[in-house]
């Protein structure tokens, strides 16, 4: 899930997904590395958070970690 999306931001989308499907696993994949965005994402129920600049080195690890929750 990206934070910046055209109709609804990813944090709100994550919140709605988790409300509708508490067992859903949402991984944030975004360009923002702001601490406030990380906190908002986790508060919304995101299982993990990774920035786009770290995709190549950490994406698979982040997916495995998020799925194991």
Token pair listed for 11: 């944090």
Q: Where are the domains of the chain?
A: 1-29+41-52
Bridge partners, residue 33, by sequence: none
Closest CA relative to residue 27, chosen from 8, 53, 3, 57:
3
pTM of the model: 0.79
Instruction: Give the pLDDT score at 65.
Output: 82
Instruction: Give the pLDDT score at 30.
Output: 87
pLDDT (tens digit per residue) in 4-55: 888 999 999 999 999 999 999 999 988 888 999 999 999 999 998 988 887 7
Bridge partners, residue 50, by sequence: 29
Q: Which residues contact 54 (CB under 8 A, 6 or more apart)?
A: none
**pLDDT at residue 56 tops 70:** no
Where is pLDDT greater, at 1 or 69? 1
């Amino acid at each position: 899930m990206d934070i910046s999306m055209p109709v609804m931001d990813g944090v709100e989308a994550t919140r709605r997904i988790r409300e509708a499907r508490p067992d859903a696993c949402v991984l944030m994949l975004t360009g923002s590395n702001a601490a406030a965005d990380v906190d908002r994402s986790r508060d919304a129920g995101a299982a993990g958070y990774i920035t786009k600049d770290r995709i190549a080195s950490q994406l698979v690890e982040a997916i495995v970690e998020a799925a194991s929750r």
